[in-house]
Structure 1
Amino acid sequence: MRMSFPFSAIVGQDEMKRALLIAAVDASVGGVMVFGDRGTGKSTAVRALAALLPPVAAADAGYQDGSPRKGNVAVPFVDLPLGATEDRVVGALDLERALGAGVKAFEPGLLARAHGGFLYIDEVNLLEDHIVDLLLDVAASGENVVEREGLSVRHPARFVLVGSGNPEEGELRPQLLDRFGLSVEVRTPQALKQRVEILKRCDAFERAPDAFAETWRRAQRKTLKQIARGRAALAAVTVPDSALTFAARLCMAVGADGLRGELTLMRSARALAALDGATVVTADHIATVAPMALRHRLRRNVLDETGSTARIERALDDLALEDAAA
């Protein structure tokens, strides 16, 4: 198996890395949508995070056919190709056993393989809408239900859904985009020094992956410990009414539809606080995750041509001024 690029060695793209760490701490955040240019490390970052996480119990990963498995396995990472059929995604009748032995048996699909890990979809904006609908429903419920060809199967399918795409190649329907918990934007680095550093690290990894991984082993262990501490502390992190009020005021100020924005703000801010070692969510945690949690939930304002991120940052500044004047 080809070694993954170390997560800690990825240059820049801080917002994307933060969003993935938040999702790794609390999968209930609802997955991550990554928009940006090609070749900016989107899939590399997701694969690197999956490879970084410690092995999980085989019984809790990659649902097969209900038969128990022992030992530990690597965290599942499943790529969903654009041309995948619904049967390949959700699972279907095992034709070989049906024809050979006359037995109706379930052949697990990609959702089953992703259980306990990550399901990654590159160019999700080009995926057929009914497949995206299906993926988001299963990601939200944590369960896949298959009823076809005389089969009735229900199996666990809990995974972190990560989608990526380039908006210039096709828009994702707003009602589907809203179902992703976090949305991040990645761009080709414009700083010369940063681009040179990326080239150096990529070249070093390609020439001697084992030596490069050893160089970053300490940083990898630090990141892994941060995730482990965040997961362990998550349940104890409190979200005071003041933080909830700030989140609601912000969503009202930017005109976010529904209450999913507030819920995502609360969950992602709590996960960020756990990552930071804090026991209480503050307005600063809310402000940090706000662009990720809200930018894809804003209605287009024909009278305001500024981007959604700028609108959120402006609303945060206005709220800070209001609080200072109060």
Structure 2
Amino acid sequence: MTKPFPFSAIVGQDDMKQAMVLTAVDPSIGGVLVFGDRGTGKSTAVRALAALLPPIRQVAGCPVNSARKADCPDWAEVEDTRLVNRPTPVVDLPLGVTEDRVTGALDIERALTRGEKAFQPGLLARANRGYLYIDEVNLLEDHIVDLLLDVAQSGENVVEREGMSIRHPARFVLVGSGNPEEGELRPQLLDRFGLSVDVTSPRDVDTRVEVVRRRDAYERDGKAFLRDWEAADADLRKAILAARKALVKIATPDAILRDCAALCIALGADGLRGELTLLKTARAQAAYEGATDVSRAHLRRVAPMALQHRLRRDPMDEAGSATRVMRVVTETLGPIQAAAE
């Protein structure tokens, strides 16, 4: 089976790729929402991310990818406790999925054949310490949305049914993609995504030609194409690992905290999640760039993706959300040439 399209080979869509890399540097940022036209590489980028991410260290037989034997849930009855390196899980959550498939349920086969009551883990267990991907997230059924909101809030999946009481960790980066023409996302779920980016079809001939050329090469001879881009993906993976190590050492001046608060107030963002996400994203950007502290330049770079989906609607302003954010950034922090970065 051909591996996913290389992440480094994706043409353009810089904001989307940047957002995904930053969540790989700091998963606590809270996930990425990618909205845009059909055929703009949204799903391709998520699949490519799976091959790009560094492996995780986990207990071999643990169904929730625990890093230590002590963290394995009792109900799992883990026998193989070796620590092994495995690819970071990237789990698809399809539309129309049942609640049992998401959360887990009674293992019917074991109950019938052995007369034992056992738990069959669901998608949330598989996604722990990894990524949960939802294509067409705006079409997800309401009861599944409610379930995801609960788990995203607590970081734990709780199953109470068929006489079972099961708990297990469910901490994952939520990645959603969709076409805005097919419906809007519920505000409660929208707020759970740390970052949001819009993707559009390229408008110049050269870019579109390069997209077609690379995709055609991948489909004609996938192995050769993957070899050509293997080094670029490896370099990007090393950069992510280096940024992860540097993250805890990044200094955050008080002035940057005040800038985060001032921007969110000026934008009318509700709650404090905007400031926290903006700060984490700017810090991840600084670590990825090899800086020692967070600067206004980092805030400017990430503000649209961290804040545009947190804006209140303004029927009198026809500008796009990202444009409105950058306008407020300029008004609050001053023009780039005049600001002390």
TM range (shorter): over 0.9
Distance 1:193 1:36 in 2: 21
- Partners of 1:325 and 1:269 in 2: how far apart? 17
Which of the residues 77, 93, 100 maps onto 2:113? Answer: 100
Corresponding residue for residue 54 of structure 1:
54
- Regions of 4+ moved over 6 Å: none
The equivalent of 1:183 in structure 2 is 196
- Say if 2:256 and 2:294, in contact at 8 Å, map to a contact too: yes
* Residue number in structure 1 paired with 2:4: 4
Residue pair 2:29, 2:281 contacting (<8 A) in 1 also: yes
Corresponding residue of 1:137: 150
Structure 1 residue aligned with 2:170, among 152, 157, 171?
Answer: 157
Q: Give, in angstroms, the shift of residue 56 of structure 1.
A: 2.2
Distance across 1 between alignment mates of 2:279 and 2:339 = 25
Structure 2 residue 266 is the aligned partner of structure 1 residue 253? yes
In structure 1, the residue matched to 2:72 is none
Q: Which residue of structure 1 aligns with residue 64 of structure 2?
A: 63
Q: CA deviation at 1:270?
A: 0.8
**Letter in structure 1 aligned against 2:64:** Y
* Alignment correspondent of 1:220: 233
Aligned-partner SS, 1:144: strand
- The alpha-carbon deviation at position 322 of structure 1 amounts to 8.2
* Structure 1 residues 66 and 21: alpha-carbon distance in aligned structure 2, compared to 1, 3 A threshold: farther
Which segment is superposed worse, 269-278 or 60-69?
Answer: 60-69
Q: How does 1:273-292 map to 2 (within 5 A)?
A: 273-292=286-305
* Counterpart code for 1:25: V
TM-superposed CA distance for 1:225, in Å, is 0.9
Are 1:167 and 2:180 counterparts?
yes
1:276 is matched by which residue type in structure 2? E
Change (3 A) 1:111 1:66: farther
The aligned counterpart of 1:298 is 311
Normalising by structure 1, report the TM-score: 0.95
1:62, 1:116 within 8 Å by CA — same for their partners in 2? no
SS in 1 for 2:210: helix
Distance 1:289 1:66, change over 3 A: farther
Q: CA deviation at 1:133?
A: 2.4
Which residue is equivalent to 1:43? Answer: 43
Deviation at 1:321, TM superposition (A): 3.2
Change (3 A) 1:267 1:137: farther
Q: Take 1:66 and 1:255, find their aligned partners in 2: how far apart are those partners?
A: 50
- Count matched residues: 326
SS in structure 1 at match of 2:330: helix
Identify the range of structure 1 (93-102 vs 19-28) with the bigger mean alpha-carbon deviation.
93-102
Q: Which moved more, 1:201-210 or 1:312-321?
A: 312-321
Relative distance call for 1:325 and 1:57 in structure 2 (3 A) is closer
User: Secondary structure, in 3 states, of the residue corresponding to 1:216?
Assistant: helix
Unaligned runs of 5+ in 1: none
2:224 aligned to 211, 220, 226, which one?
211
**Residues in 2 aligned to 1:152 and 1:40: alpha-carbon distance in whole angstroms:** 43
**Kept in 2: contact 1:62–1:76 (CA 8 A):** no
Aligned pair in 2 of structure 1 residues 92, 114: CA closer, same or farther (>3 Å)? same
Gap regions ≥5 residues in structure 2? 66-75
Identity %: 63
- Alpha carbons of structure 1 residues 321 and 25: separation in structure 2 relative to 1, 3 Å: closer
What's the secondary structure of 2:332's corresponding residue?
helix
2:68 maps to which residue? none
- Which residue in 1 is equivalent to 2:73? none
Please tell me the residue identity of whatever aligns with 2:12. G
What TM-score does the superposition give when structure 2 sets the normalisation length? 0.91
Local SS of the residue matching 2:59 = helix
Contact 2:129 2:170 in 1 (8 A): yes
C-alpha contact 2:54 2:241 (8 A) present in aligned 1: no
Distance 2:18 2:52 in 1: 15
1:264 & 1:218 partners in 2: Cα distance? 32
Cα deviation 1:9-61 (Å, max 9, x = unaligned): 10000000010011111111111111011111111111111111233224288
Partner of 1:241: 254
In structure 2, how many angstroms separate the alpha carbons of the residues matched to 1:319 and 1:96?
61
8 A Cα contact 2:250 2:291, kept in partner: yes
Secondary structure of the corresponding residue to residue 288 of structure 2: helix
Question: In structure 2, do the counterparts of structure 1 residues 309 and 202 end up closer, same or farther at CA, with 3 Å as the change threshold?
Answer: same
